[in-house]
Amino acid sequence: MAHANENFAHLQAGYLFPEVAKRIRAWSERNPGEKVLRLSIGNTTEAIPPSLARAMKDKIDALSKSDTYTGYGDEQGDICLREALRSHYMNEYGVTLPSDAFFISDGAKSDAANIQSIFSSSSVIAVQDPAYPVYVDSNVAGGHTGLYDRESECYGGIIYMKSDESNGFVASPPESHADIIYLCFPNNPTGAVATRDQLRTFVDYAHREKAIIIFDAAYCDYIQSAGIPRSIYEIEGAEECAIEINSFSKNAGFTGVRLGWTIVPHNLITQDEDRSLLHRFWNRRQTTFFNGACNIAQAGGIAALTEQGRKECMQLVSYYKENAAIIKEAAASIGLTCFGGVDSPYVWTKCPDGLSSWDFFSLLLEKAHVAVTPGSGFGPAGEGFVRISAYGHREDIEEAAASLKENL
């Protein structure tokens, strides 16, 4: 008799973004003809940079002729793209990693969700609170956690590293032992970045505890503040205790194209004697469960890492960052307290008058027709905040900013 995996039943009500979409839909049905200014999800809106689009068109042309057609590629990714990433890390971050430490994927979300499968199910997980929901949910579905507690709004067995105003939204490492620590900088949802010293405390902790850091750097190109690391491997010793996940979604507009990568170094220190185990297990995982990223997307990824491609991608990033500045200025001008939005596309905004995240979400929708994401959906410490996203056409961002100023 078949049984469904009971771990999935432990996941709490609807994943955050479908729930936001449901409530916006319901509002639109109640208010026919009214435009919703969507600053809710982190979905890109602008065109793919021209040299990347050209490279993908060329790849389609090559695939359409039998003498240049190619079928399955390496599950780990096109060696040209892995090589290009290796050079990129060396040139931009001064980091030396072998190209076979780079595993190309269909995006950071799948990798962030799947990475837990190569660790023991008895692993103690630590997450930033608030955090991108995938880290917690994938560990719940993978059976690495206890049950959800309604009172605390936390899962048993997970260490929540509270990130709030008192620590500038950058938590310190846990006081107790953790085996796997998820970090995301620039952070989704708070927009916070970590300094070199702050990251070093995590690397030191990981060495002390023989723990592994899963570092999600999906927004690293948004960092403009001087001296802020863009890769965890800029911290000495991180190649022995950190796995880094990244994406072409937010700098190349590949949210729909789908392309990302994960770096699993060869010499990660765990309780196991064999330092290459995690690299081998991720290789085994990818070659068994995945048949390689789309070859058209990978051609675009290679173009994104050329000098011209980087220039175009950074122009795209600048566009979204200008959007973030417009939103932040508007929110601050009506007396809202805002964080982030400088090294990040997200403006983390405090709910006024003690309103809850969902109440402020509803108020913004009702009064300004602006849709945001309630902070409580990212974890209990997100309560009392909303995340305003800078992904949108400039005219829509300006309309939303004007509406906030006029109607709130």
Binding residues vs ligand PLP (CB under 6 A) = 42, 107-109, 112, 132, 184, 188, 216, 218, 247, 249, 255, 260
Smallest gap from residue 123 Cβ to ligand PLP (A): 20
Smallest gap from residue 16 Cβ to ligand PLP (A): 11
The residue (of 134 and 370) whose beta carbon lies closer to ligand PLP is 134
d(CA 108, CA 125): 19
Residue reference for tokens 């009506």: 334
Could you write out the DSSP letters of every residue in 366-391?
Answer: HHH-EE-EEGGGG-GGGTTEEEEE--
The residue (of 205 and 254) whose beta carbon lies closer to ligand PLP is 254
Smallest gap from residue 40 Cβ to ligand PLP (A): 12
62 by Cβ neighbours in 10 Å (0-12 / 13-18 / 19+) ranks as: middle
Smallest gap from residue 34 Cβ to ligand PLP (A): 27
The residue (of 188 and 403) whose beta carbon lies closer to ligand PLP is 188
The residue (of 63 and 113) whose beta carbon lies closer to ligand PLP is 113
Evaluate whether 267 touches 275 at the Cβ level (below 8 Å): yes
Residue reference for tokens 């837990």: 116
Smallest gap from residue 109 Cβ to ligand PLP (A): 3
Smallest gap from residue 188 Cβ to ligand PLP (A): 4
The residue (of 248 and 361) whose beta carbon lies closer to ligand PLP is 248
Q: Which of 233, 248, 246, 155 is nearest to 196 (CA)?
A: 233
Evaluate whether 163 touches 128 at the Cβ level (below 8 Å): yes
Q: Which two tokens stand for residue 182?
A: 């998820």
Q: Output Rg (C-alpha) for the chain, integer angstroms.
A: 21
Smallest gap from residue 317 Cβ to ligand PLP (A): 14
The residue (of 105 and 357) whose beta carbon lies closer to ligand PLP is 105
The residue (of 209 and 221) whose beta carbon lies closer to ligand PLP is 221
Residue 185 main-chain phi, psi, to 5 deg: -145, 135
Which residue minimizes CB distance to ligand PLP?
107
DSSP state of 266: S
Asked if omega into 174 is within 30° of 0 (cis), the reply is no
d(CA 153, CA 18): 19
